[in-house]
Chains A and B, each alone.
Chain A
Amino acid sequence: MQATLDPKPSSPAPSAEVSVAIRDLCFNYGSSQALKDITLDLHKHEVTAFIGPSGCGKSTLLRCINRMNDEIPGTRVTKGSIHIEDINIHDPSVDVVKLRRDVGMVFQKSNPFPKSIYENVAFGLRMRGVKDKQVIDQAVEESLRSAALWDEVKDRLQESALGLSGGQQQRLCIARTIAVKPLVVLMDEPCSALDPIATAKVEELVWQLKNDYTFVIVTHNMQQAARVSDRTAFFYMGELVEYSDTKRIFSNPRVRKTEEYISGRFG
């Protein structure tokens, strides 16, 4: 088995190709069970939205995919598996550091480093030992262009990233994440602290980038899930209640609980 998760060279994949396969996943915080038997496929070149009320386990599941939960003491996967590109990420031969290079993450609260804009985007490459200035320059420009930020910041790359607006900071975090070309990009409520205009920009960005990555977006905002995602998973009390095409979930949910949540009867 390969330890790394390099993308396999392949012909253009059909849109339904599975990128992340979650099987019977159970997850505990200490003795309380946060996720119960989650089985879910995430597809390449698609945006999958996780919705559900607070504490339903959607962020926990997201953080399982790049094993960020490892950082929280007392947590563990009690059952089941997650495969990314057919590799079990909990296999002892998988290096969690390398896993995270392939599974990027954007956090709820934009967290650029107090360094220059350029250094923020170059950070991942530098940690990987890339020294060649030309390579870094190129990657920085490319990522900032992809994140639709280049025109706004190209004249002040050396200024502190903290001088950017909240929306720009969040897009910078996205640029920083995609600068290292991950397979999967996880987004944990990326717009919850942004105003509507900045939110629209981030959503547009996700929509444009989805052809190159597998996106997972956790959101509290159901309109956002409806706008931006191809598929939606609804979680409640640690269980996956319903998972299907976004259109279907929002127009004709199969489960009563989903309908109640979507129509705002609780949550």
Chain B
Amino acid sequence: MFDPEKLIRKGRPKGHIKEVLIRSLLAGTTYLIVLIAVLLFTRIIVDGAPAILSPKFPFVDLEFLTAKNETLHVFDDAQGTRHQLAASAYSRYVAEHQGENLYNEQTFSYSGGGIAGPIVGTALLTIGSILLALFFGVSAAIYLAEYAKQSPFIHAVRLAILNLAGIPSIVFGLFGFSVFVLAVPVLTSDPSDRSLLVIPLMIGNYAISFQGWNSSLMAGCATLACMILPVIITASEESLRAVPQGFRDASLAMGGTRWQTIRKCVLPYSLPGILTSSLLAITRVAGETAPIMFTAAVAAKDDLPWEGLSNPFGILSSQVQALPYHIYTLAARIPSSEYTQRAQYGSVLVFLILVATLSIVSMVLRARIRRKLKW
């Protein structure tokens, strides 16, 4: 009676073609996305590599990474040789070749020299805003997760924080401009004319003046910090909640105060999660253009932020260049030509490498901490 031929039916099942179609459609979509990423990276690497690689040891064009940004001068000399010189080298050349005629001279803003200024500026903005956002964000997360009683009000607070995450970055830029650049109070002996309110103090001729921090590193960091606060708060709160309740119970039952419990038995174990959230935030902060456009960034700056300062805190109130803003400037403000490509693609490639390195470092760090803290 047993006939395998009858039990195991041969041939294509019904709906086979539909299955195959759907499967290939889904696979195709996936690979299309990958293709886009591959094309993007290839283009940037192929065009950007000549700018930052060099045929000689150490195989990296250190000048591009360490030199300041300058205007590029392109010209033919009397012998017909084409020169591409950054502004400072150009003026040296002109001084050495007095009376010589230069032909076909063209200038390209921002395209000469290197990108030390934007790199340093982005690093400072990132570090500053992450520190600020971590301090405020983790404090808020601890309050929400450990202290606050679950009430409709706290629910509303949480919702408000979540909504903050949906605000477009340009709005944060304008907010930062109107608050940090124009309105926050500063202690000064010389209030500005456009100060909103001056409260004279009795000490010396100092006054508290609501005149803002101007466009400065400080204002940029504060704006960026506001932008990433919701991400950090939400993720930190989640990782605080992920710490087993047993740790808190044990510590409290042994006569730990609430703060001791949090500091010794909760915070250390939620650190990997908090780091993850700040990793996401770092890449976002480093990449945003809109919030710093009005608050911190300048297209051209001759000095690095710490140069020419009377005191070390002056760095906080100096303007900076920033990589994303620099890329925007290179792409939108100057005509594209074969001479600007080096700066354009080089900057983008450096930027990508920087962000990727940050991500990888944070991921490795997180994996290591996670391996150490297991329960």
Q: What residues of chain A lie closer than 8 Å to B265, measured between beta carbons? A: 113
Complex formed: what's the CA distance from A109 to B249 in Å? 11
Q: What residues of chain B lie closer than 8 Å to A114, measured between beta carbons? A: 269, 373-375
Main secondary structure of the interface of A (DSSP, over half): helix
Q: What residues of chain B lie closer than 8 Å to A104, measured between beta carbons? A: 253-254
- CB–CB A123/B254 < 8 A: yes
- CB–CB A127/B254 < 8 A: yes
Q: A109: shortest Cβ distance to chain B, in Å? A: 6
Complex formed: what's the CA distance from A109 to B252 in Å? 15
Q: How would residues 94 to 118 of chain A score, 1 for a CB under 8 Å from any chain B CB and 0 otherwise?
A: 0001111110110101011110000
Q: B307: shortest Cβ distance to chain A, in Å? A: 47
Q: Which of A158-209 contact B (CB under 8 A)?
A: 162, 173, 176-177, 180
A124 CB–B CB distance under 8 Å? yes
Interface centre among B250, B256, B264, B374 (most CB of A within 10 A): B250
Q: What residues of chain A lie closer than 8 Å to B253, measured between beta carbons? A: 66, 68, 100, 104-105, 107, 177
- CB–CB B257/A123 < 8 A: no
Q: What residues of chain B lie closer than 8 Å to A97, measured between beta carbons? A: 255-257
Q: Which of B236-295 contact A (CB under 8 A)?
A: 244, 246-257, 260, 264-265, 269
Complex formed: what's the CA distance from A257 to B249 in Å? 34
**Closest partner residue, chain A, to B269 (CB atom):** A114
B150 CB–A CB distance under 8 Å? yes
- CB–CB A109/B246 < 8 A: yes
- CB–CB A162/B374 < 8 A: yes
A155 CB–B CB distance under 8 Å? no
A162 contact from B150, B250, B375, Cβ within 8 A: B375
Q: Which of A71-107 contact B (CB under 8 A)?
A: 71, 73, 97-102, 104-105, 107
**A111-B247 in contact given A68-B253, A97-B257 (Cβ < 8 Å):** yes
Range for the number of chain B residues in contact with chain A: 20 to 34
Complex formed: what's the CA distance from A98 to B252 in Å? 10
Q: What residues of chain A lie closer than 8 Å to B256, measured between beta carbons? A: 97, 127
- CB–CB B254/A176 < 8 A: yes
Interface centre among B244, B246, B374 (most CB of A within 10 A): B246
- CB–CB A107/B255 < 8 A: no
Main secondary structure of the interface of B (DSSP, over half): helix
B43 CB–A CB distance under 8 Å? no
**Closest partner residue, chain B, to A73 (CB atom):** B149
**Closest partner residue, chain A, to B255 (CB atom):** A101
Q: A116: shortest Cβ distance to chain B, in Å? A: 12
- CB–CB B249/A68 < 8 A: yes
- CB–CB A124/B254 < 8 A: yes
**Closest partner residue, chain A, to B246 (CB atom):** A111
Q: What residues of chain B lie closer than 8 Å to A101, measured between beta carbons? A: 254-255
**Closest partner residue, chain A, to B257 (CB atom):** A97
Q: B96: shortest Cβ distance to chain A, in Å? A: 69
Complex formed: what's the CA distance from A63 to B253 in Å? 10
Complex formed: what's the CA distance from A128 to B255 in Å? 8
Q: What residues of chain B lie closer than 8 Å to A99, measured between beta carbons? A: 255
Complex formed: what's the CA distance from A68 to B260 in Å? 16
Complex formed: what's the CA distance from A162 to B149 in Å? 32
Q: What residues of chain B lie closer than 8 Å to A123, measured between beta carbons? A: 251, 254, 264
Q: B240: shortest Cβ distance to chain A, in Å? A: 15
Complex formed: what's the CA distance from A157 to B159 in Å? 46
Complex formed: what's the CA distance from A53 to B254 in Å? 28
Complex formed: what's the CA distance from A41 to B246 in Å? 29
A180 contact from B248, B250, B252, B254, Cβ within 8 A: B254
Q: A96: shortest Cβ distance to chain B, in Å? A: 9
Q: Which of B100-117 contact A (CB under 8 A)?
A: none
Q: What residues of chain B lie closer than 8 Å to A124, measured between beta carbons? A: 254-255
Q: B269: shortest Cβ distance to chain A, in Å? A: 7
A113 contact from B247, B252, B257, B260, Cβ within 8 A: B247
Complex formed: what's the CA distance from A176 to B249 in Å? 13
Q: What residues of chain B lie closer than 8 Å to A173, measured between beta carbons? A: 250
- CB–CB A113/B255 < 8 A: no
Complex formed: what's the CA distance from A66 to B256 in Å? 13
**Closest partner residue, chain B, to A177 (CB atom):** B254
Complex formed: what's the CA distance from A109 to B254 in Å? 16
**A100-B252 in contact given A73-B150, A114-B375, A127-B264 (Cβ < 8 Å):** yes
Complex formed: what's the CA distance from A98 to B155 in Å? 32
Q: A34: shortest Cβ distance to chain B, in Å? A: 18
Q: What residues of chain B lie closer than 8 Å to A105, measured between beta carbons? A: 249, 253
**Closest partner residue, chain B, to A112 (CB atom):** B250
Interface centre among B253, B255, B256, B269 (most CB of A within 10 A): B253
B249 contact from A73, A98, A111, Cβ within 8 A: A111
Q: How would residues 104 to 142 of chain A score, 1 for a CB under 8 Å from any chain B CB and 0 otherwise?
A: 110101011110000000011001100000000000000
Complex formed: what's the CA distance from A99 to B257 in Å? 11
Complex formed: what's the CA distance from A146 to B90 in Å? 83
Interface pairs (20), CB distance under 8 Å: A68-B252, A73-B149, A73-B150, A98-B255, A100-B254, A101-B255, A102-B255, A104-B253, A107-B250, A111-B247, A111-B250, A113-B247, A123-B264, A127-B254, A127-B264, A128-B255, A173-B250, A176-B250, A177-B253, A180-B255
19 more A-B residue pairs beyond the given contacts A68-B253, A71-B248, A100-B255, with a C-beta to C-beta distance below 8 A = A66-B253, A97-B257, A101-B254, A102-B255, A104-B253, A105-B253, A107-B250, A112-B250, A113-B250, A114-B373, A123-B251, A127-B251, A127-B257, A162-B374, A173-B250, A176-B250, A176-B254, A177-B254, A180-B255
Give 6 closest A-B pairs by Cβ, nearest first.
A111-B246, A101-B255, A105-B253, A100-B255, A124-B254, A114-B375
Binding site for A on B (CB under 8 A): 149-150, 244, 246-257, 260, 264-265, 269, 373-375
